Amino acid sequence: MKPFLRTRQHSGSPMIGRQLVAGVTAASLMGLLVPVGAASGAPTFLYVRSTSCSDSGTGTATLPYCTIVKAAKVAVAGQTVVVAAGTYFGEVSLWHSGVSGLPIIFRPATGATVVISGPRHGFTISNQSWITVSGFRIQNTTSSGVYVSNAKGLSITGNTVQTSGRRISGAAAYGMYLNAMTSSSVKGNLVTNNAGSGILMAGGSTGNQVVGNELSFNAYGYVRNAVGIDLRGPGNIVKANRVHHNEDSGIQVFPGGDRNQIINNIVYANMGFTTAAQTNCAHPSTGNTSGCITGDHGIDSLGVTGGSIVGNTVYGNATSGINLEGLAASTTSGVTIANNIATDNGIRCPNGVGGTVKCPRTGGNIRVDATSRLGTSVNFDLVNLSAPGTMMVWGTTSYNTLASFRTASGQEARGLQADPRFTRAATGTFTLAARSPAIDSANSGAPGQTTSDAPARPRVDDPATPNIGIGPRTFDDRGAFEYQPAT
């Protein structure tokens, strides 16, 4: 079950909820007010340095600006803001947009470590588009580290966003809050240890790619509510992310998040520990008197339709590994679950003193509740438990083996129950060892199945393994990693 608080869309930012009086008019004005700088003879580069500088200067290499804030007021389409090493303290709020093919780029100087520390947001992009923010360390903000509203064509890449907000009621904050963002990419970022969810993609955000990020140790601390990636907009691709040790679920898809593709992600150990006195944390059944088990699903889909959950590795999460629930009765889900490895979910959690206890709430490596079965397809997954527990859930019935689930549900005709032979799951290494049953056994024609794995290695045929897969390639592997034979 979900705590009521999770219906909240934002914490800690006074800008959330601001509405354009006339959205179409404002959007059209965005295009009219974009100065095209570098294309019209302005310098290609603006420079920022914390010493020997002047915000009254020209931003040249010989007289750089002192603050990124000043550069953000001046920079126009086609210009790159290059920031020297140091710690900067102001909120970087964009004043202009780039254009397609001529973005405004913010990046550190080559080899420099640039920290933005302590403002409300590290970067604010509101009603601007075609902006690139790459390579910054954003920390200790009072609200979301990166705040986006009504923007298109953004590239947010290679940043570290950490310690946003505080873990007390009223002061929590997301690592990244992305609202009404379209046709943009969020790639290769580390979003960790924030006082709220890592990334929230809300308010009609669509056509985006969230790829290759690491999201970890995000937690409100006073209530089980922080997830790694929270999707509430439709039609996005979430691929090859590493999502672990968050307070609630790893990847969460909530109402509004229809037709998303969740592909090739590594989602593990999403479980937390808080004190028994905290809200939504009383689980006496755990037998743990010093506190209680938190955490939730690996991948959680609540009340959404369409989309695919394909080729993920989902391991050791507090409750059900892949979870579909909450549709209205007689609604066709249209969700495809295929080619995943889902093992050891919902069987044990840390109890704060080095032992293990039975996890609370739902179990099962894959769970589809009673109202979410219609139109759901589940096949070609590899599941396993290393301790007694629930293997699968279909409707209101739990099954301890894949075979009994298959007989009752008619699903997983090509599913496998076996040890996936991870290289070393205990250290978070989920590549496949030789002779893994996941090798050369997937459906390469499943919706969203990729021609490469999470680290972008090509699909290859292992000559030592018979090809039992189907589709255009009969040698794709299940899970997020493709086995790479020595030959």
Beta carbons of 36 and 76 less than 8 angstroms apart: yes
CA 162 to chain centre: 15
In order, the DSSP letters of 362-405 are: ---SEEE-TTS-TT-EEES-EEE-SSSS--EEETTEEESSHHHH
Q: How far apart are CA 89 and CA 110, in angstroms?
A: 21
Domains in the chain, start-ordered, CATH in brackets? 77-432 (2.160.20)
Number of H helices, E strands in the chain: 3, 42
Q: Which helix (H) or strand (E) holds 273?
A: strand 273-274
Q: How far apart are CA 175 and CA 6, in angstroms?
A: 16
One digit per residue, the tens of pLDDT, for the chain of length 487 reads 343 344 333 333 333 332 322 333 333 333 334 455 555 667 899 999 999 999 999 999 999 999 999 999 999 999 999 999 999 999 999 999 999 999 999 999 999 999 999 999 999 999 999 999 999 999 999 999 999 999 999 999 999 999 999 999 999 999 999 999 999 999 999 999 999 999 999 988 999 999 999 999 999 988 888 999 999 999 999 999 999 999 999 999 999 999 999 999 999 999 864 443 343 443 333 333 334 557 889 999 999 999 999 999 999 999 999 999 999 999 999 999 999 999 999 886 544 333 444 445 788 999 999 999 999 999 999 999 999 889 999 999 999 999 999 999 999 999 999 999 999 999 999 999 999 999 999 999 999 999 999 999 999 999 999 999 999 999 999 999 999 998 7
**pTM surpassing 0.85?**
yes
